[in-house]
Amino acid sequence: MDARLTRYDRWMQQTMNRREAAPLYATASRRRGLVAAHIVLTAATVTAGLAANVGGSMVAIWVMLALVLPWCIATGAINASTRGLLELRRRALDERQRAERSEVLARAHRISTGLLFAVAAAVIGYGLAGGSTGRPALMALVAGVIVHWLMPMWVAGLRAQDEPDDE
C-alpha cells in the first residue's frame, strides 16, 4: 500500500474493515441473498419514485422514503463484504485489490452494456409498434442509469470470497 494515505483514507479503511455486520455476508449464499435483496429494494425504490413522479402520489413518496433505510443498510453490508473494494481510493488498495477492482469494473461494464442494448431495443420496438416512446424511454433511461451505477457493487458483492476460518 502507498504510504501517502490521508486521514480520510485510513478512516475509510477502518470503516470498511469493521466486522459487526459480518453475519449478513459471511457465506456466499448470504452475499447472493444480500445482493438479491438490494436489487429488489433498488427496483422497488425506483418504481415508487417513478410512480410519485408520474402520478404525484403521496403514498408512493412515503413508500420510497421507507425503502431508503433498508436500501442503505444493504448497500453498506455489500460494501463491507468487499472490504470497500469500490469505495476506497486506489492508493488505499493493494495490488490484488486493484486487480480485483479492475475485473469487477470490466465485468459490470459488459453486463450493463448488454442490459442497455436490451432496453434500447425494447424502447425502439415499442415505438415501432405504434406506442409513444416519450415516457417509457425516460423511465428506461432512469432505470438504465441506476443499474449502470450499481452494477459494479452487485458484481463485487457476488464475487467476494469467504473470510478464512479462524485457526
pLDDT, residue 165, reads 64
d(CA 97, CA 77): 18
Look up the pTM and report it: 0.84
d(CA 65, CA 61): 6
pLDDT, residue 167, reads 55
pLDDT, residue 154, reads 96
Judged against a pLDDT cut of 70, whether residue 82 lies above it is answered with yes
Categorize the per-residue pLDDT at 127 as very low, low, confident or very high, splitting at 50, 70 and 90: confident
User: Domain locations in the chain?
Assistant: 26-159
Q: For residue 27, what is its C-alpha cell?
A: 457465506
pLDDT, residue 9, reads 87
